[in-house]
Amino acid sequence: MTALTLSTSAAPGLRADAIVIGVAKGAKGPVVAPGAEAVNEAYDGKLAGVLETLGASGAEGELTKLPAPAGFKAPLVIAVGLGAEPEDRDYPAEALRKAAGVAARALTGAKKAAFALPVEDAAAVGAIAEGVLLGAYSFDTYKDNGKDPKAKNGKAPLAEAALLGGKPRDAAHKAAAARATAVSEELNRARDLINTPPNDLTPAIFAGIAQEAAKEHGIKIQVLDDKALTKGGYGGILGVGGGSAATPRLVKLTYTHAKADKHLAFVGKGITYDSGGISLKPAGHNETMKCDMSGAAAVFAAVVAAARLGLEVNVTGWLALAENMPSGSAVRPGDVLRMYSGKTVEVLNTDAEGRLVLADALWAASAEKPDAIVDVATLTGAMMLALGSRTFGVMANDDAFRSTVHEAAEEVGEPAWPMPLPEHLRKGMDSATADIANMGERMGGGLVAGLFLREFVGEGITWAHLDIAGPAFNEGGPFGYTPKGGTGSAVRTLVRLAELTAAGDLG
């Protein structure tokens, strides 16, 4: 991973492969952003005009390369767009994050780059650091990169980034960089898991990875295998995993702080491969289904990040891990499963399996009476149809908590949108055979799934559901600090919720 340093050095004298500066979109053309004063001065104050001549406008995501001025030890200047220039010149954290990510992606193969982006405060340091670390990510485990195991399509990711304007002796700046490093490293770990082929990430292997991380970071872990799940009566997880030779697991990760008086529970859907089961997915819909464990990856990463940050809150993570495959032992449409809660569920569609494993994990989490539960899942295609590929839906049994989760997501740069749980849709899941069916009305399918999950949340417990089906896996080209493939969606939202809880600010 890219090494980060904070530096008060002047850009001209810094030895690096490139100097990264920001350029904003002004009313009359591009505007050189704060942090690039020394570079602009070296261009006799005419850098904005030079950039405009080269076609730069300052638009978000834009990148322009030009030779460094005479006297600079770096040979290259990279100008990245920050979007519209704010009236107070206080650039939003997400604009800085995206710009840093764009530059980091462009610097593949470089040994060192200096980032001279606007640094108003510690929050800006953290945002730029996150953008660099997330933007430089690559997944090349299965590619032959010759002699360099870290190579990205023949080139290694950016090796070192110096954040100019970041003060190495300032406690707040150091803390912001350290937080960004911990969160980004764990988010990138989630990305690695999501990108790993399903033949190399079965439920048992995922559980083993969690055990190694738990040992490293002082997290208590419990793994229930298929025998323990059978003994415990986890009918949902067993039903989904019964068709695969790779048996299911339920992993419980527990991070505690001696001074904590609040407890959060995170629950993640971990379908390590989803064929749809007997209700088999058609060709064209199953090639990326290794990503159906993105919710569990997010929960895992968030718990480890909370431990690394030493947050004053108790956090429990539940990873409901199974592989959904068709076979003679697979659950069938029409089967009835007895869940861990004791409720019975008529399975009308085996491809609506995520809600079945989550139901058992939600009930297990509820037994500990946490202050709040948040589940994360790539749950429904309906949510993608509603919100697109970059925004996740937020549902909850408490409007104030839903708002808190939504605001936390937006604060850290994860697009989210609050969604309702209309009571009239519950009737569509009535079953003549069981307590509830796993399917309801087709229209509003994402909301129906949320209503199903609500049935398995303990009475009086505040709960939210994040349907990350859209943003969890980027099938298009990279953008900002987001790569192609697994994105690590919801990790930063969960970490922020843990921080808010630790600070006593959880609504």
Residue 454 dihedral angles phi and psi, to the nearest 5°: -60, -30
Q: Is residue 220 exposed (0-12), middle (13-18) or buried (19+ Cβ within 10 Å)?
A: exposed
**According to DSSP H, which parts of 310-380 are helical?**
354-366
Q: Tell me the catalytic residues.
A: 281, 355
E runs forming strands in 94-248:
112-116, 160-164, 220-224
Cβ atoms of 438 and 345 closer than 8 Å: yes
Please give the full DSSP string across 313-329, using - where no structure is assigned.
SEEEEEEEEEEE--STT
Positive or negative, the CA dihedral 447, 449, 451, 457 is negative
Residue 404 half-sphere exposure toward CB, CA atoms < 13 A: 22
* Residue carrying the six token digits 């009236």: 87
Segment holding 169, helix H or strand E: none
Segment holding 430, helix H or strand E: none
Cβ atoms of 229 and 240 closer than 8 Å: no
Q: How many residues does the chain have?
A: 507
Q: Is residue 61 exposed (0-12), middle (13-18) or buried (19+ Cβ within 10 Å)?
A: middle
Looking at the DSSP bridge assignments, the partners of residue 163 are 6, 115
